[in-house]
């Protein structure tokens, strides 16, 4: 009974998308939309099925996923490390922070010409672009998180004999974690945006390549499949970040 009453609440967020698709289908069916501009949803679904059956879809998906993960891993990993270092050590922050803040003001995408000159149009170029873009949200949030750990808690922990690694593990890192996870969430959102750009410049595989290729052959349905895939992957990344928050911040009433 309780589940039945919850049902409208669970379905409500999906009402608008379903309605939009229905209107879209009806409009296409009535001939109001040219299939070259916007094919009907059914045709998009068919294109999706064909790509899935031929295996092409999975190849592109695998390549894109790998790029995203590698770029996120390198960029966010470095951002986390430097954020932890500069957050914990005044000396390191004095030495490095100004430089990093200067680099931060250069949009990652403005580096594209330079990146192509340095790395050509290989995987290394894409990885570099993703890593640079993802680095800063992670760095800034980690740095800020460490610096804003409650000084009273640190004082208390020191007076109970905690120092060095134990102090970091039990007090500073968990205290900074809410902010660090905001960084993860930002970075995961950004990684897709950068991936789309990187893959549309030049690639031999990946969702971006698939979409650009389809554009050349006027396969609007395949273009739409690519766009929808990005939306789904972005949503999946967001859910993953949310899952991390729910797990690591379960002590915090705001995340339960």
Partner 1 sequence: MQINPIEENKVSQAADRINHGAHLNLKGVTKRYAGRTVLDAVHLKITPGEFVAVVGRSGCGKSTLLRAIAGLEKPDGGQVKIGGGGQQPEVRIMFQDARLLPWKTVLQNVALGLKDGTARARAALDSVGLLERAGDWPAVLSGGQRQRVALARALVHEPHLLLLDEPLGALDALTRIEMQQLIESLWTARGFTAVLVTHDVQEAVMLADRVLLIEEGRLALDLQIGLARPRVRGDAAFGALEQQVLDRVLQI
Nearest to 227 by CA among 187, 191, 193: 193
Pick the binder of partner 1 from 41, 73, 77, 174 (CB under 8 A): 174
**By three-state DSSP, how is residue 40 classified?**
coil
Nearer to partner 1, 157 or 227 (CB): 157
Nearer to partner 1, 17 or 253 (CB): 253
**Least separation in angstroms between CB 158 and partner 1:** 9
Q: Which residues contact 201 (CB under 8 A, 6 or more apart)?
A: 112, 116, 121
**Least separation in angstroms between CB 169 and partner 1:** 11
Number of residues that bind partner 1 (CB under 8 A): 19
Residues within window 126-145 making contact with partner 1, judged by CB under 8 A: none
Please report whether residue 165 would count as binding partner 1 according to CB under 8 A: no
Cα–Cα distance measured from residue 180 to residue 149, given in angstroms and rounded to the nearest whole number: 12
Please report whether residue 14 would count as binding partner 1 according to CB under 8 A: no
Cα–Cα distance measured from residue 53 to residue 191, given in angstroms and rounded to the nearest whole number: 28
Pick the binder of partner 1 from 27, 32, 156, 239 (CB under 8 A): 156
Q: How far apart are the first and last CA of the chain?
A: 24
Residues within window 217-256 making contact with partner 1, judged by CB under 8 A: 249-253
Q: Which residues of 212-246 are buried (b: 16+ CB within 10 A; e: fewer)?
A: bbbeeeebbbbbbbbeebbeebbeebeeebeebbe
Nearer to partner 1, 113 or 253 (CB): 253
Asked if 237 and 222 count as a contact pair (C-beta separation under 8 A), the reply is no
Please report whether residue 162 would count as binding partner 1 according to CB under 8 A: yes
Pick the stretch among 13-21, 157-165, 203-211, 221-229 that binds partner 1 (CB under 8 A): 157-165
Pick the binder of partner 1 from 125, 130, 171, 181 (CB under 8 A): 171
Nearest to 73 by CA among 115, 129, 141, 131: 131
Query: Under the rule (CB under 8 A), what is the footprint of partner 1?
Result: 152-153, 155-157, 159-162, 170-171, 174-175, 177, 249-253
């Amino acid at each position: 009974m309780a589940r039945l009453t919850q049902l409208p609440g669970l379905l409500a967020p999906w009402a608008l998308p379903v309605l939009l698709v229905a209107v879209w289908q009806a409009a296409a069916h009535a001939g109001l939309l040219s299939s070259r501009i916007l094919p009907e949803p059914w045709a998009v679904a068919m294109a999706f099925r064909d790509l899935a059956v031929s295996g092409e879809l999975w190849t592109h998906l695998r390549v894109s996923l790998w790029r995203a993960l590698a770029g996120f891993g390198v960029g966010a990993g470095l951002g986390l490390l430097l954020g932890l270092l500069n957050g914990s050590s005044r000396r390191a922050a004095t030495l490095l922070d100004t430089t990093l803040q200067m680099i931060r003001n250069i949009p990652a995408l403005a580096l594209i010409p330079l990146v192509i000159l340095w790395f050509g149009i290989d995987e290394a170029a894409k990885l570099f672009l993703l890593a640079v873009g993802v680095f800063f949200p992670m760095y800034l949030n980690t740095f800020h998180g460490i610096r804003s750990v409650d000084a009273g808690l640190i004082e208390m922990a020191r007076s109970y004999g905690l120092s060095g690694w134990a102090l970091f593990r039990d007090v500073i890192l968990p205290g900074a974690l809410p902010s660090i996870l905001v960084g993860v969430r930002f970075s995961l959102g950004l990684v897709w945006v950068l991936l789309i750009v990187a893959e549309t410049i030049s690639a031999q595989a990946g969702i971006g390549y698939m979409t650009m290729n389809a554009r050349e052959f006027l396969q609007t349905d395949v273009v739409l499949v690519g766009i929808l895939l990005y939306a789904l992957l972005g949503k999946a990344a967001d859910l993953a970040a949310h899952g991390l928050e729910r797990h690591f911040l379960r002590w915090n009433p705001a995340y339960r």
